[in-house]
Protein backbone atom coordinates (compact mmCIF):
# COMPACT_ATOMS: atom_id res chain seq x y z
CA UNK A 1 0.00 0.00 0.00
CA UNK A 2 1.44 3.34 -1.07
CA UNK A 3 0.56 6.90 -0.23
CA UNK A 4 0.51 9.72 -2.72
CA UNK A 5 3.66 11.11 -1.07
CA UNK A 6 5.49 7.81 -1.54
CA UNK A 7 4.35 7.55 -5.18
CA UNK A 8 5.55 11.12 -5.80
CA UNK A 9 9.00 10.26 -4.38
CA UNK A 10 9.27 7.22 -6.66
CA UNK A 11 8.32 9.24 -9.75
CA UNK A 12 10.68 12.10 -8.93
CA UNK A 13 13.58 9.70 -8.30
CA UNK A 14 13.76 9.00 -12.04
CA UNK A 15 16.51 10.93 -13.85
CA UNK A 16 15.52 14.54 -14.61
CA UNK A 17 11.89 13.90 -13.60
CA UNK A 18 9.99 17.02 -12.64
CA UNK A 19 6.51 17.70 -11.30
CA UNK A 20 4.26 20.21 -13.08
CA UNK A 21 0.58 21.01 -13.45
CA UNK A 22 -1.34 19.18 -16.18
CA UNK A 23 -4.89 20.49 -16.55
CA UNK A 24 -5.20 21.03 -12.82
CA UNK A 25 -3.57 17.76 -11.81
CA UNK A 26 0.01 17.07 -10.77
CA UNK A 27 2.00 15.43 -13.55
CA UNK A 28 5.45 13.93 -13.77
CA UNK A 29 7.54 14.83 -16.78
CA UNK A 30 10.87 14.27 -18.38
CA UNK A 31 11.99 16.60 -21.17
CA UNK A 32 8.65 18.43 -20.71
CA UNK A 33 6.70 15.29 -21.67
CA UNK A 34 4.23 13.67 -19.28
CA UNK A 35 4.90 10.08 -18.20
CA UNK A 36 2.44 9.96 -15.27
CA UNK A 37 -0.23 12.02 -13.51
CA UNK A 38 -2.16 11.84 -10.28
CA UNK A 39 -5.78 11.42 -11.32
CA UNK A 40 -6.95 11.97 -7.74
CA UNK A 41 -5.65 11.33 -4.22
CA UNK A 42 -5.97 7.55 -4.59
CA UNK A 43 -4.92 6.86 -8.18
CA UNK A 44 -2.14 7.56 -10.63
CA UNK A 45 -2.28 7.32 -14.41
CA UNK A 46 0.91 5.94 -15.91
CA UNK A 47 1.55 6.39 -19.62
CA UNK A 48 2.67 2.91 -20.62
CA UNK A 49 1.72 1.45 -23.99
CA UNK A 50 -1.49 -0.49 -24.54
CA UNK A 51 0.21 -3.90 -24.41
CA UNK A 52 1.75 -3.12 -21.00
CA UNK A 53 -1.57 -1.72 -19.81
CA UNK A 54 -3.23 -5.05 -20.58
CA UNK A 55 -0.40 -7.10 -19.02
CA UNK A 56 -0.41 -5.06 -15.81
CA UNK A 57 -4.22 -5.19 -15.61
CA UNK A 58 -4.17 -8.96 -15.95
CA UNK A 59 -1.31 -9.49 -13.49
CA UNK A 60 -2.50 -6.95 -10.88
CA UNK A 61 -6.29 -6.69 -11.39
CA UNK A 62 -6.97 -5.15 -7.97
CA UNK A 63 -4.42 -2.39 -8.56
CA UNK A 64 -4.40 -1.73 -12.31
CA UNK A 65 -7.07 -0.89 -14.85
CA UNK A 66 -6.94 0.52 -18.37
CA UNK A 67 -7.75 4.25 -18.44
CA UNK A 68 -9.97 5.11 -21.40
CA UNK A 69 -9.84 8.57 -22.95
CA UNK A 70 -12.51 8.68 -25.58
CA UNK A 71 -12.32 5.48 -27.58
CA UNK A 72 -8.69 4.66 -26.82
CA UNK A 73 -6.71 3.37 -23.88
CA UNK A 74 -4.61 6.36 -22.86
CA UNK A 75 -2.89 5.10 -19.70
CA UNK A 76 -2.78 2.56 -16.92
CA UNK A 77 -4.81 3.67 -13.89
CA UNK A 78 -3.14 2.46 -10.70
CA UNK A 79 -4.82 2.36 -7.28
CA UNK A 80 -2.05 3.31 -4.86
CA UNK A 81 -3.62 1.38 -1.98
CA UNK A 82 -3.33 -1.86 -3.97
CA UNK A 83 0.15 -1.62 -5.52
CA UNK A 84 3.55 -2.55 -4.14
CA UNK A 85 6.34 0.03 -4.36
CA UNK A 86 8.56 -2.13 -6.58
CA UNK A 87 5.74 -2.68 -9.08
CA UNK A 88 4.94 1.04 -9.21
CA UNK A 89 8.66 1.80 -9.63
CA UNK A 90 8.86 -0.61 -12.57
CA UNK A 91 5.75 0.81 -14.25
CA UNK A 92 6.93 4.40 -13.82
CA UNK A 93 10.34 3.46 -15.20
CA UNK A 94 8.72 1.91 -18.28
CA UNK A 95 6.66 5.08 -18.86
CA UNK A 96 9.70 7.29 -18.21
CA UNK A 97 11.70 5.25 -20.75
CA UNK A 98 9.02 5.80 -23.40
CA UNK A 99 9.22 9.56 -22.81
CA UNK A 100 12.85 10.35 -22.03
CA UNK A 101 15.22 11.36 -24.85
CA UNK A 102 17.51 8.59 -26.07
CA UNK A 103 20.69 10.21 -24.70
CA UNK A 104 19.19 10.40 -21.21
CA UNK A 105 17.91 6.82 -21.43
CA UNK A 106 21.39 5.66 -22.45
CA UNK A 107 23.05 7.51 -19.53
CA UNK A 108 20.49 6.11 -17.08
CA UNK A 109 21.29 2.46 -17.87
- Say what the pLDDT of residue 45 is: 97
> Mean per-residue pLDDT for 14-30?
95
- Say what the pLDDT of residue 68 is: 86
**Max Cα–Cα distance, the chain, nearest Å:** 36
- Say what the pLDDT of residue 69 is: 83
pTM comes to 0.94
What are the helix (H) ranges across 1-109?
A: 4-12, 50-59, 85-99, 102-108
Q: Each residue of 40-73: pLDDT tens digit?
A: 999 999 999 999 999 999 999 999 999 988 888 8
Asked whether the beta carbons of 99 and 108 are under 8 A apart, the reply is no
Amino acid sequence: MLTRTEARKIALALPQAKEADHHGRPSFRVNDKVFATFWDDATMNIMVDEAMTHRASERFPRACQPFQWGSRIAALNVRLSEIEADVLRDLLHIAWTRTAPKGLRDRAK
